[in-house]
Amino acid sequence: MRAAEVSSEITQVLVTEEQILAKLEEVAERVSADYEGKNLLLVGVLKGAIMVMADFSRSLRITAPMDWMAVSSYGAGTKSSGVVQIRKDLDEDLHDRHVLIVEDIIDSGLTLSWLLENFESRGAASVEVFALLRKPDAAKVEVRCKYVGFDIPNEFVVGYGLDYAEKYRNLRDVAVLAPHVYS
Ligand code: PRP
């Protein structure tokens, strides 16, 4: 669905589907060049990263196996709790792999800083991050993020994989959720 179909539940469209897809092409060009000839493994963080992984991986010009990890830092609320819980671990061995973590959003940074440390301790040759969205004003910890799509304001955003209570992941655009929906 497009933002117009949920216009009463959002206050503003921050990034349109067209802008997202153009940005993914741009980042995919860089990643294709940077990882050419390397043993790349894309790691998606469920569930938010499903859309970005699907579109980004198909924009790459190189072979890119993928694996998935499920962690949770939010629960059903709207603020980061700081608690990272593993719900599904990787299937792949990271030893000597060049890992690129694919994320929908860096909010507090707690999830990614934990993942970076965790993956490095498993013997990966390198671990880098591509985050489609980043909220600089929400950062609680500094995260090393090599590829960033868009820096956005510290608002509660939904769409393109991002949810509120499992809704709005299938919204094509990224939009600010109206406060009356969650308060
Ligand atoms: C979201 C998002 C990131 C994380 C970012 O996931 O997909 O993984 O929070 O937040 P942080 O920078 O404050 O740690 P969430 O736990 O909501 O799960 P989901 O992807 O299944 O919606």
* Single-letter amino acid code for the residue at 109: G
106 lines ligand 1 (CB under 6 A): yes
pLDDT (tens digit, 9 = 90+) per residue, 105-150?
999 999 999 999 999 999 999 999 999 999 999 999 999 999 999 9
Residue 53 and residue 45 in contact, taking contact as beta carbons nearer than 8 Å: no
Q: Which of 55, 104, 107, 163 is catalytic?
A: 107
pLDDT (tens digit, 9 = 90+) per residue, 5-49?
999 999 999 999 999 999 999 999 999 999 999 999 999 999 999
Mean pLDDT of the chain: 94
The proportion of the chain whose per-residue pLDDT surpasses 70, expressed as a percent, equals 94
pLDDT of residue 145: 96
- pLDDT tier at 92 (50, 70, 90 boundaries)? very high
pLDDT (tens digit, 9 = 90+) per residue, 61-85?
999 999 999 998 655 454 555 668 8
pLDDT of residue 76: 47
* pTM listed for this prediction: 0.93
Exposure letters 131-165 (e unless 16+ CB within 10 A, then b): bbbbbeebeeeebebbbbbeebeeebbbbbbbbbe
* 175 pLDDT higher than 90: yes
**Whether 163 is catalytic:** no
132 lines ligand 1 (CB under 6 A): no
45 lines ligand 1 (CB under 6 A): yes
